[in-house]
Amino acid sequence: MNDKKIVITGLSCISALGLDLNTNWDNMLNGKSGVNKITLFDPKDLMTQIAAQVPKDFELLSEEKIKKRTLTQMTRATKMCYLCAADAIEMSSINLDLYDKTRCSVILGVVNTGKLDNDPKNKIIKGMNNAMSAWLSIKYKFEGPNYTIATACSSSAYAIASGYDLIKNNLADLVIVGGADSTINPEEILGFNELYALSTNNKNPQKASCPFSKDRDGFVIGEGAGILILESEESAKKRDVNIYAELCGYSLTTECYNIMAPMENGEGMAKTMEMALKKTNLTINDIDYINAHGTSTELNDKFETQAIKKVFGDQAYKIPVSSTKSMIGHTIGAAGAIESIVTVLSVYHDIITPTINYDNKDPELDLDYVPNKSKAHNINFAISNSFAFGGHNASLIFKKYKN
Amino acid sequence: MGIIKAGTRDEVKKTVISFFSEECEVNESKISEETNVIKDLEGDSLMFLELLEIFKKKYGLDFELKTIGKYVVKHPVQTIKDIIDMTILIIQHENNINDLA
């Protein structure tokens, strides 16, 4: 493998905690919860009546920033993706005219584009899984590889890995990566309820997502988007732009075990982290922070903890592990990207966002989960984990960028 | 078969430009007959179909979109002028437009 470095020069996210990066980051540092009673529809007949919906100003923002006709051809998730990408592009200060557009790509993680209404008008355009990446290519005239990856909850982590490969293998100079998701609708919630995957803590929504704690009773469904701009270090340096972190490698594995449950004792998760360390020539002593998949489900949090202990041994107790999902719920297709963004910012600012609602310790889970309050911590290398239904695992490793 | 009167082309042109101005959020003064719908206005191919529905009602025309579609495959429309000229042909020939090809 060549020594080309892949760096992040732009990033943005939309979640229940805000419609832009800074608002999200501030709210996360302050340990706020974005979970509330569902207002997108009347949830009274459902077991789960809570979710992490993006702020209601989102629709107004969309109307302000997206052309009227284009809006009618997009789902809520596609709009989130489109707005988020515009912010990330702006942040990266790219002069798109200077790029060879055949070497500019878009790779997104998309599980689906969201609930479609019964109106046949634009139904196909709205519903096609490649709509988000296609819209971005049309907007920015990126003529390079453009595709969508669907690996459930790890989709956008896979997209980031795929973008890394395109640049590393000299197939692209610049790649928009990330994902978006908005599946807060009765059908999805019913479906997840049938699997007993969702929290039913309807009485106390803000406390419902409590990864790694004894009280956890399932994940809280969220919505949002996360977009990162990846480019080669050479390309970024040429235009003297701020570099937020280096994506120094990743591991993608498949458990081949169960369509829903992770492998016993977190074996598959452990293998993924081990392979990521191996691929990046790092040791267990190099990792300073793990942004966990941390869903707040019984099995994930138990197995992820076991996996971290298996890989890092006694060192596991010295590595802070936190769950972004405690604050913004599980954004499914967007989760890998949003959590990568949080990891990048943690590496950049040397501060770790907390796992909120960590009030009752589960005796089996005994790592440092950064309970309830963010903490300053020197971070050179950090892992972002994503583990999906179907056994699609991803561990991405980010490194502090040094000139 | 419709009859083209003296002012019909101007009327069609006005409707076409007004439609694209509204849908693409572009000032009418920026749209000319040479304007390319996709490249210059970031429009899409569905817009022509929507326009046809408007003209169908406006002039009480009798045609099947499928029939027009066959003609458009052979004679693609890209500019505002293309759309105006095609509309005039449709008004004149309606479902018989493919007899021209």
Minimal-distance CA residue of chain A relative to B24: A69
Q: State the average pLDDT for chain A.
A: 97
Q: Which residues of A touch B25 (CB under 8 A)?
A: 67-69
Q: Which two tokens stand for residue A254?
A: 């498949």
Give start and end residues of each alpha helix (H) in A106-153: 123-127, 131-140
Nearest neighbour of B25 by CB, restricted to A67, A73, A138: A67
Minimal-distance CA residue of chain B relative to A138: B42
A392 carries an active-site annotation: no
How far apart, in Å, are the Cα atoms of A387 and each of A42, A156, A188, A329? 31, 11, 19, 15
- Binned at pLDDT 50, 70 and 90, residue A380 comes out as very high
| pLDDT value at residue A180 | 98
- Binned at pLDDT 50, 70 and 90, residue A225 comes out as very high
Q: Which two tokens stand for residue B39?
A: 């490249």
A377 carries an active-site annotation: no
Q: What is the tens place of the pLDDT at every residue in A163-181? A: 999 999 999 999 999 999 9
Minimal-distance CA residue of chain B relative to A141: B39
Distance from CA of B2 to the nearest CA of A (A): 29
Q: What is the tens place of the pLDDT at every residue in A127-157? A: 999 999 999 999 999 999 999 999 999 999 9
Mean pLDDT of the A82-100 span: 95
Query: Are B24 and A138 within 8 A, CB to CB?
Result: no
Q: Is the pLDDT of residue A56 over 80?
A: yes
A81/A88 Cα distance (integer angstroms):
10
A198/A191 Cα distance (integer angstroms):
10
Q: Is the pLDDT of residue B2 over 70?
A: no
Q: What percent of chain A has pLDDT over 90?
A: 95
Mean pLDDT of the A210-215 span: 98
- Binned at pLDDT 50, 70 and 90, residue B3 comes out as confident
Q: Is the pLDDT of residue A16 over 90?
A: yes
A153 carries an active-site annotation: yes
| pLDDT value at residue A257 | 94
Q: Is the pLDDT of residue B1 over 70?
A: no
| pLDDT value at residue B97 | 87
Mean pLDDT of the A343-354 span: 98
Mean pLDDT of the A276-284 span: 98
Mean pLDDT of the A36-61 span: 97
Query: Are B23 and A138 within 8 A, CB to CB?
Result: no
Residue given tokens 């994940």 in the structure block = A219
Of the two residues A237 and B6, the one the predictor is more confident about is A237
Q: Is the pLDDT of residue A386 over 90?
A: yes
Distance from CA of B7 to the nearest CA of A (A): 30
A378/A346 Cα distance (integer angstroms):
9
Mean pLDDT of the B26-30 span: 96
Q: At what angle do helices B8-24 and B80-93 cross, to 10 degrees?
A: 130
Query: Are A68 and B42 within 8 A, CB to CB?
Result: no
B34 by Cβ neighbours in 10 Å (0-12 / 13-18 / 19+) ranks as exposed
B27 in contact with A, Cβ within 8 Å: no
Q: Please state the pTM of the whole predicted model.
A: 0.94
Q: Is the pLDDT of residue B91 over 90?
A: yes
- Binned at pLDDT 50, 70 and 90, residue A118 comes out as confident
Q: Is the pLDDT of residue A32 over 80?
A: yes
| pLDDT value at residue A2 | 84
Strand partners, A105: A175
| pLDDT value at residue B101 | 60
In the set A153, A210, A248, A392, the catalytic residue is A153
Q: State the average pLDDT for chain B.
A: 91
Give the residue from B42, B49, B53 with the most A CB atoms within 10 Å of its CB, the best one to mutate: B42
B42 in contact with A, Cβ within 8 Å: yes
Cβ–Cβ < 8 Å for A174, A102: no
- Chains A, B: CB contacts within 8 A come to 13
Q: Which residues of B touch A68 (CB under 8 A)?
A: 23, 25
B23 in contact with A, Cβ within 8 Å: yes
Nearest neighbour of A68 by CB, restricted to B25, B43, B44: B25
Q: What percent of chain B has pLDDT over 90?
A: 69
Minimal-distance CA residue of chain A relative to B39: A138
B26 in contact with A, Cβ within 8 Å: no
| pLDDT value at residue A205 | 98
Q: Which of A206, A184, A379, A219 is nearest to A294 (CA)?
A: A219
Minimal-distance CA residue of chain A relative to B25: A67
| pLDDT value at residue A119 | 83
